[in-house]
Amino acid sequence: MAAGDRLPGLGIFSLIEAYFLQRTIFANETFPIVCLGTLGVNLTLLGLWSVIIYPFFLSPLRHLPTLPGFLNHGKIIFDSPRGQAVLNWMKTIPNDGLIHMRDPVGQSYLVATNHQALLDVMSTNTYDFEKPWRARSFLARILGFGLILSEGHAHKKQRKALTPAFNIKNIRAMYSLMWDKTNELLVEMEKEIKLNPMEGTSPTEGVGKVEMCVWGSRLTLDIIGPAAMGRDFRSLQNSENKVAETFLSILEPTTEKMAFLAMNVVTPQWIAQRIPWKLNDVIAHDTQFLRELCNDIVREKRESLAASKASAEDLEADILGTMMLGGDFSDTELVDQMLTFLAAGHETTASALTWACYLLTLYPDVQERLRAEIREKIPSAESPITYNDLESLPLLNGVAQEVLRLYPTVPATIREAINDSMVAGTHIPKGTRIILCPYAINRSPLFWGDNGDEFEPERWVDTDKNGNRVPNNNGGASTNFAQITFLHGQRSCIGKDFARAELRCAIAGVVGRFAFEMQDPKQEIHIAGAVTTKPVEGMNLKMIRVEGW
């Protein structure tokens, strides 16, 4: 009989032998102790490997300048303002583009600090680095899995389909919409001032109280609505607009929301959403409303287009129409994109306008010179404008650029290496997390010198050969990576030119019409926010109507 013929028989006898051996072992009361002991030894060895042996003796990152302690990554989340700790590290820790830190379980985090490191992460090897899945899953509850949260092939496809809607020609064509909405803002703010006059003044004097965070959010929501989806929310005229209230509720800058964000980043969503935390119900309720709204808009748009047999030119009137024209998105994907543009498309500029007003209260001389520049170029708020009217104003552009530099809407973000990669000449193992911190980079002495923390609009102004003041686009920095408010490369913000145009219009309108200062000059402003940065106390301004414009 061949050896192969004997195997079935041997297999049966082996099974019988294994059965009796199993009964003997389990009958022995020492078996559970042996198992638990073996498990304990293995866990101990795993812990030693993960926390001590690999990080300190074998990791290719072990030679980088490393922050002592294990709680530094937590400082980035709860820092106030978020990014200040990173800026301090950049200023005090000698490095060649990367600063290293570890969390309590040995996970490596790197802070990118120079041009080469930023270039490698955001451009050269950008698809080697993705937003960590847990953070993406949480943010998707608010933003949907649109362009901001998509990765890899999905991101490339979406970016290609959406790019035509954001070319410079289309952005410049939107200036008239932005300027019209800015005029609506000025009208409604004047009504607010009359209803809330400052103490000791009458309603007819044009001196009153305004909370700028709220007005900024309403303005930008009423711009992104028509621009993105052909829907005017008219939140400027309606103080009880549910869309505006929902975003203000979600993005309210509280310590509790920061803790909630941290919990969602470290905990899988299937667990995080079951934790009995009131914010889970708030987020679920608010995001359900926004998703249903976007669903209704997509459905109505399809029905309208089918009924009217709209032309390609009609479809391209807004971003949603452009996406439908391309045919690259299902209705579910369209809803995700609308959620993304609705949230990110208005919050960036709303935040920037708020901080612009704050900085101009701190520098009243700049506010006065800016008002004079605006009024010299534009006869009145009702005058029609072109893109060149605003893009050519040197001080206006300098103020807008400084605001975006000093107060980036998202002060810090994170990436995780999905492959082994290279950054600033260092081998980066898969799983390493890299922190990109716009707040710190935008103020870093490496790029901006000793006055990187200071508000200096003139750094964005040059003098041409004829002695005329003209805007520049670099602020005197030697690299574009000195300012990463909108990031760079393939993952840069697709709406950055839209946001800049929107901000120019808003600042020009508000400064042209009003002089303003803090209601309480002694009030200290604190920067916070789970997703974006806002003043915790709000931005309570004393507004004064300046006649003649």
Q: What is the DSSP string of 59-78?
A: -TTTTS-B-SSS-HHHHHHH
Instruction: Calculate the CA dihedral of residues 440, 521, 183, 297 and round it to 10 degrees.
Output: 50
Q: Which residues contact 446 (CB under 8 A, 6 or more apart)?
A: 90, 113, 114
Query: By 3-state DSSP, what share of the chain in percent is helix, strand and coil, each rounded to 5?
Result: 60, 10, 30
Res. 298: pLDDT tops 70: yes
- What whole-number distance in Å separates Cα of residue 92 and Cα of residue 70? 19
Question: Which H or E run includes 225?
Answer: none
pLDDT at 516: 97
- Determine contact, residues 247/346, Cβ cutoff 8 Å: yes
pLDDT at 14: 56
Res. 432: pLDDT tops 60: yes
- For residue 443, what is the DSSP state? T
Q: Name the residue among 65, 124, 152, 130 with its Cα closest to residue 422.
A: 124
- What whole-number distance in Å separates Cα of residue 258 and Cα of residue 254? 7
Q: How confident is the model at residue 309 (pLDDT cuts 50, 70, 90)?
A: low
- Determine contact, residues 230/321, Cβ cutoff 8 Å: yes
pLDDT at 291: 92
Question: Which H or E run includes 438?
Answer: helix 438-441
pLDDT tens by residue, 187-212: 999 999 999 999 888 888 889 999 99
Average pLDDT (454-460) is 98
- What whole-number distance in Å separates Cα of residue 232 and Cα of residue 222? 6
pLDDT at 49: 65
Average pLDDT (116-129) is 97
Q: Which two tokens stand for residue 102?
A: 């570890």
Query: What is the C-alpha radius of gyration for the chain, rounded to an integer number of angstroms?
Result: 28
Amino acid at 102: R
- Determine contact, residues 519/344, Cβ cutoff 8 Å: no
103-107, 109-113, 164-168: least confident range: 103-107
Phi, psi of 548 (to 5 degrees): 95, 10
Question: In Å, what is the CA distance from 202 to each residue of 175, 199, 208, 390?
Answer: 36, 8, 9, 34
Cis peptide bond prior to 81, omega within 30° of 0: yes
Q: Which residues contact 31 (CB under 8 A, 6 or more apart)?
A: 25
DSSP secondary structure string for all residues of 448-504? HGGGTTS--GGGGEEE-TTS-EEE-SSTT-SSGGG--TT--GGGS-TTHHHHHHHHH
Whole-angstrom distance between the N-terminal and C-terminal Cα of the chain? 108
Alpha helices in 196-330 (DSSP H): 212-224, 242-250, 255-266, 269-272, 278-308, 312-315, 319-326
Res. 116: pLDDT tops 50: yes
- What whole-number distance in Å separates Cα of residue 126 and Cα of residue 112? 13
- For residue 93, what is the DSSP state? S
Q: Which residues contact 14 (CB under 8 A, 6 or more apart)?
A: none
Phi, psi of 121 (to 5 degrees): -75, -40
Residues in the chain: 549
Res. 347: pLDDT tops 90: no
Res. 50: pLDDT tops 60: yes
pLDDT at 2: 44
Q: Which residues contact 518 (CB under 8 A, 6 or more apart)?
A: 361, 540, 541, 542
Q: How confident is the model at residue 1 (pLDDT cuts 50, 70, 90)?
A: very low
pLDDT at 37: 75
Mean pLDDT over the full length of the chain:
87
Q: Determine if residue 493 is labeled as part of a ligand binding site.
A: yes
pLDDT at 422: 97
Q: Which two tokens stand for residue 452?
A: 């990187």
CA quadruple 44, 50, 55, 58: dihedral sign: positive
32-36, 127-131, 188-192, 517-521: least confident range: 32-36
Query: 526 or 253: whose pLDDT is higher?
Result: 526
Amino acid at 76: I
pLDDT at 326: 76
- What whole-number distance in Å separates Cα of residue 275 and Cα of residue 262? 13
Average pLDDT (112-121) is 98
- What whole-number distance in Å separates Cα of residue 458 and Cα of residue 403? 13
Q: How confident is the model at residue 317 (pLDDT cuts 50, 70, 90)?
A: confident
pLDDT at 312: 55
20-24, 257-261, 466-470: least confident range: 20-24
pLDDT tens by residue, 459-498: 999 999 999 999 999 999 999 999 999 999 999 999 999 9
> Structure pTM?
0.88
Residue 272: alpha-carbon gap to chain centroid = 22
pLDDT at 9: 42
pLDDT at 16: 54
